[in-house]
Structure 1
Amino acid sequence: MSVVQLEPARDTWDDRTMTQMLTLARSRSAEDRQRLLLKVTGLCEAAAPPPNVAPLLSDIFLTLAAQAERDIRLALAERIADAEWAPPALVNMLALDEIDIARPVIAASPLLKDADLIRLLIEATLEHQIAVARRPRLSGPVCDAIVDRGEAVTMTALASNRTADIGEAAMRRLVDQSRRIAGLRAPLTRHPRLNEALAQQLYQWVGQALRQSIGERFRIDDAHLNAAVQQAAAVAVGAPEWRGAPAGRLAENRERVEMERRLVDKLQAAGQLRPGLLVRALREQRFELFEQALAALGGFSDAQVYHAVRAPTAEPLYLACIAVGVDKAVFASVLVEVRKLSGGLPGEGGWTATPMNAHSASRAFRQMMENPVIV
């Protein structure tokens, strides 16, 4: 059943009109309920009901909502969603209705108080809870109640609500939860309540794209940030931290390393050093040339490249390659060749092809290599 377009009522708030409305409310006819919706809504929108008819008006609305078809309840919810004059009991009834009817009321009604919203978190469906978490300008106590319940999708909706009054303690708990709930990470990096201290904590378990976003938003000390990342990585893989770079290569490799270094120096001096040399070196199984060329192209030290190749995950090597201009689509094949020539290193941990430019990738790589973890 479809509800006709609501039109302004010509009636006024008098005894005759009230009697007519009450009669219509008691009728079992769908047409009468629709007429009642037209009359009551139009009256209320034209002028706030006088105090002496408020109790009767509430009865009329509650009777209408209890008996009305879905289309009428939906139209009613949409019309009274932001109304100050609506009976609170009716607003609460509609807020507990099926989600399509409840959603506009939950989102906008000024008559829903904190206690009403917390009741929805406890009694209503998960969809209702998400609607509460998305409500504009959500108060601190309701935010705390959402975090207390610990429901992943509801907390993610809250983290995406930039107008929510999330207190520092609740924000800290959301950041803690983001370690296990990946969906929280992106909205938290953009939330206006995220501060620098929490950003440093969040940085430890987000991907490179979000690290770039955090780094651009906050002026966080790179060394401090890197130490946190390396500590988290060491815990994750159970690997010891390296206490310093190796003094040099093994004696049997020194001659070959020097030969490749001289070639790289000549190419660089002639302006002919290109990222394509990395792929060619691997195809020719000249691993020392690959390492020397990668270091020269990126302005990296030998130790940084050495550690990147021997890291517990391929992420540092990915960053180094992107920093020198290797195409993201090519890196997977580069990684296969590197592992063939280095005994399976870097480790089998994952890497993510994130949309980073060369500058951001270089910055992230240098952060990681300040205190590298290798297997």
Structure 2
Amino acid sequence: MKLARSREAGDRERLLTGIIDLCEEGQARGEPTHPDVQALLNSIFMTLVVEAEREIRHRLAERLADAEWAPSALINIMALDEIEIARPIIARSAVLQDHDLIRLLVQATLEHQIEIARRPRLRASVVEAIIDRDEPAVLTALASNETADISTDAMGKLVDRSREVVALRSPLARHPRLSEQLAEQLYLLVGRALQDALEARFHLDPVRMQAAVADAAKAAHHGTAEGQVAAVGMDEDREEMERSLIEKLDSAGQLRPGYLLRVLREGRLQLFVMALARLGKFESAQIRRAIDSGRPELLALACSSIGIDRSVFPTILEHVRQLNGGRPGGGEEGVRRAASAFGPFTPDIAGMAFRQAVGQA
């Protein structure tokens, strides 16, 4: 009662911890929770958690993520909390049902939706809801979830969507539910390294598959010279539209470093190149040279020069590699080298180092 009357954060946390301990002890003894007691627990937890500080909610989420006795209303509220608090709940809580997850897809942020797509053993109804929403970053997270219940039809939709969302191709090529028929479709879209992996995994005839690639290329380029000029014009129009978008965002003060991760999650590599160049006052060709190299530290210097945090860079690098055929190379050793770009120096120094280094790449 003394803890309950206290307004101190530490006392509130001790009270919450004590109640959780009691509930876990009861579960360990196999004691069923009486409905009246469950209703009381719901009321207590909702009152205390809503008023709790962020760090307390964070620690509470880690404990309650594995608690099957946890009140459903509380778990659903915590799943809508900021992503660092919601992440363990979304990933592990057995209290969250399929309809809860589908509702979260509608109500929550993009980061929450990505965590739902990564949830282990995701059921078919949630998979279909993710595919219906057609958010590129969430689809890519789903394609990387090898335990999700992705039906043959759903896998076919993902392979078909990978024609536009380049980031889908690499995880789909490795997915255990990819069939030989879908592998042959995906083969026409991927680069040489993934083609080799698909040939080895499904014992595809390389001669026949390369002939199919050649036929697809001919079909794509078939048409009159006028049609070909129109296609080139469309590419130029798209590039001009993207350049105009970056300029408008910058003029409105809305072009910020966080935008880079957003466009990468959407599979828009060229927009990433333009945005990074604009933010760092670089040439787009310099950024392109950096991401096509075998030195991820070049990209790290460019990111460091605009204030991107060291902890965010590995995610950026992973997305760029997925969208750019595995480049910039360097593997895990390259990731370690790239960390040195976020050393104890100012963004201006990082920018100068990038310009000098990229000229020698």
Larger helix percent: 2
Closer/same/farther in 2, CA of residues 235 and 71 from structure 1, 3 Å limit:
same
Structural mapping, 1:39-78, within 5 Å: 39-48=18-27, 50-51=33-34, 52-78=36-62
1:147 partnered with 2:131: yes
Contact 1:25–1:64 under 8 Å retained in 2: no
1:35 partnered with 2:19: no
- C-alpha deviation, 1:65, in angstroms: 1.1
Deviations 1:13-51 (A, max 9, x none): xxxxxxx4xx75565332331121221121122223731
Closer/same/farther in 2, CA of residues 352 and 161 from structure 1, 3 Å limit:
closer
Contact 1:33–1:68 under 8 Å retained in 2: yes
Contact 2:127–2:148 under 8 Å retained in 1: yes
1:92 partnered with 2:47: no
Deviations 1:135-186 (A, max 9, x none): 0000011111111111111000000000000011110010011111111001
Q: Which protein is bigger by CA-based radius of gyration?
A: 1
Q: Distance in 2 between matches of 1:114 and 1:227?
A: 44
- C-alpha deviation, 1:225, in angstroms: 2.0
Corresponding residue number in structure 1 for 2:159: 175
Contact 1:25–1:60 under 8 Å retained in 2: no
Corresponding residue number in structure 2 for 1:132: 116
Query: Could you tell me which amino acid in structure 2 is paired with residue 142 of structure 1?
Result: V
Contact 1:26–1:63 under 8 Å retained in 2: no
Corresponding residue number in structure 1 for 2:178: 194
Q: CA RMSD in A?
A: 2.4
Q: Distance in 2 between matches of 1:205 and 1:26?
A: 64
Q: Distance in 2 between matches of 1:119 and 1:160?
A: 22
Q: Where does structure 1 lack aligned partners over 5 or more consecutive residues?
A: 1-19, 241-327, 330-350, 356-375
Give SS of 1:107's match.
helix
Q: Distance in 2 between matches of 1:147 and 1:353?
A: 25
Contact 1:25–1:63 under 8 Å retained in 2: no
Closer/same/farther in 2, CA of residues 145 and 31 from structure 1, 3 Å limit:
same
Contact 1:91–1:112 under 8 Å retained in 2: yes
Corresponding residue number in structure 2 for 1:121: 105
Q: Distance in 2 between matches of 1:352 and 1:92?
A: 39
Q: Distance in 1 between matches of 2:326 and 2:93?
A: 43
Normalising by structure 2, report the TM-score: 0.59
- C-alpha deviation, 1:352, in angstroms: 7.1
The size of the alignment, in residue pairs, is: 226
Q: Distance in 2 between matches of 1:189 and 1:150?
A: 19
Q: Where does structure 2 lack aligned partners over 5 or more consecutive residues?
A: 225-292, 295-323, 330-361
Closer/same/farther in 2, CA of residues 59 and 160 from structure 1, 3 Å limit:
same
- C-alpha deviation, 1:238, in angstroms: 2.9
Give SS of 2:115's match.
helix
- C-alpha deviation, 1:234, in angstroms: 1.3
Query: Could you tell me which amino acid in structure 2 is paired with residue 151 of structure 1?
Result: E
Higher RCO by CA contacts (8 Å cutoff, separation 6 or greater): 1
Closer/same/farther in 2, CA of residues 26 and 93 from structure 1, 3 Å limit:
farther
- C-alpha deviation, 1:226, in angstroms: 2.8
- C-alpha deviation, 1:58, in angstroms: 1.0
1:232 partnered with 2:216: yes
